[in-house]
């Protein structure tokens, strides 16, 4: 692509959380969790518009007060249940904000750096359309087993050093880049020809449990 494309960043945030109550607006490193990812998105020059999709009055009030450049999109009632797939929420959001590419991330990735996001965007812009989408992954080079005690990525009879094992990649949910066309055709963020974009494990850390909050808080304070 020759011209700079229009890129809309989508950041869905729910009011309640099952495992960590009030997770998205709980204080971490001195500010509500969601503020960290919004600051990251706004620091990326490639991103045209940042949109927060939420059903939370707490987040709406905070975004209006601290981030006037961020667009707010109220999540409709029929998309608020725990069982609603993220892809259906993205179908709704993308219908309101036309773009060449969409970047979706989460408030639970406070360690994600602007430089990493910019690098991911430039990667897909450069590689498109040979690659039609991109998502963040974490490299694993360790001996993995399934629940039936079968080796997944190694031969127990040939004890290779872990650094010599063929890597496998975990989808880390830090970021997804895709087009509306991919979303409509596949009802998913990941296209037929995705680019696996590797992110450092510490930067890719997701906040899902109480111990994740503790570790992320330490790492964020070390940056300050």
Q: How many domains does the chain have?
A: 1
Instruction: Kindly state whether residue 158 falls inside one of the protein's structural domains.
Output: no
- Torsion over CA: 211, 213, 215, 218 (sign): negative
Instruction: Kindly state whether residue 196 falls inside one of the protein's structural domains.
Output: no
- The model's pLDDT over 11-25, given as tens digits with 9 standing for 90+, comes to 999 988 877 888 999
Instruction: Kindly state whether residue 148 falls inside one of the protein's structural domains.
Output: no
The mean per-residue pLDDT over the stretch 17-37 comes to: 91
- The model's pLDDT over 146-203, given as tens digits with 9 standing for 90+, comes to 999 999 999 999 999 999 999 999 999 999 999 999 999 999 999 999 999 999 999 9
Domain residues for 41? 7-132+173-181+202-223
Any idea what DSSP says for residue 167?
Answer: P
Residues 6+ apart with CB under 8 A from 200: 116
Q: In Å, how far from its chain's centre is CA 91?
A: 16
Instruction: Kindly state whether residue 167 falls inside one of the protein's structural domains.
Output: no
Instruction: Kindly state whether residue 137 falls inside one of the protein's structural domains.
Output: no
- The model's pLDDT over 57-105, given as tens digits with 9 standing for 90+, comes to 999 999 999 999 999 999 999 999 988 999 999 999 999 999 999 999 9
Cβ atoms of 216 and 205 within 8 Å: the answer is yes
Instruction: Kindly state whether residue 100 falls inside one of the protein's structural domains.
Output: yes
Q: What is the pLDDT of residue 51?
A: 98
The mean per-residue pLDDT over the stretch 119-125 comes to: 98
Instruction: Kindly state whether residue 15 falls inside one of the protein's structural domains.
Output: yes
CATH number of the domain that residue 214 is part of: 3.90.550.10
Instruction: Kindly state whether residue 21 falls inside one of the protein's structural domains.
Output: yes
């Amino acid at each position: 692509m020759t011209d700079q494309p229009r890129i809309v960043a989508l950041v869905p945030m729910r009011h309640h959380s099952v495992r960590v109550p009030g997770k998205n607006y709980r204080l971490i490193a001195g500010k509500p969790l969601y503020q960290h990812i919004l600051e990251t998105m706004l620091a990326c020059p490639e991103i045209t518009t940042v949109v927060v999709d939420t059903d939370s009055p707490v987040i709406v009030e905070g975004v209006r007060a601290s981030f006037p450049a961020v667009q707010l999109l109220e999540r409709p009632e029929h998309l608020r249940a725990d069982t609603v797939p993220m892809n259906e929420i993205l179908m709704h959001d993308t219908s309101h904000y036309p773009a060449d590419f969409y970047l979706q991330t989460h408030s639970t990735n406070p360690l994600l750096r602007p430089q990493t996001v910019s690098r991911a965007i430039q990667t897909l812009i450069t590689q498109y359309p040979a690659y039609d989408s991109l998502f963040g992954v974490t490299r694993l080079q360790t001996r993995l087993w399934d629940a039936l005690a079968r080796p997944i990525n190694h031969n127990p009879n040939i004890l290779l050093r872990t650094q010599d094992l063929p890597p496998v990649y975990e989808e880390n949910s830090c970021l997804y880049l895709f087009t509306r066309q991919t979303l409509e055709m596949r009802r998913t963020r990941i296209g037929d020809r995705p680019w696996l974009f590797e992110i450092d494990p510490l930067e890719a850390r997701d906040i899902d449990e109480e111990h994740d909050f503790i570790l992320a808080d330490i790492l964020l304070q070390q940056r300050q």
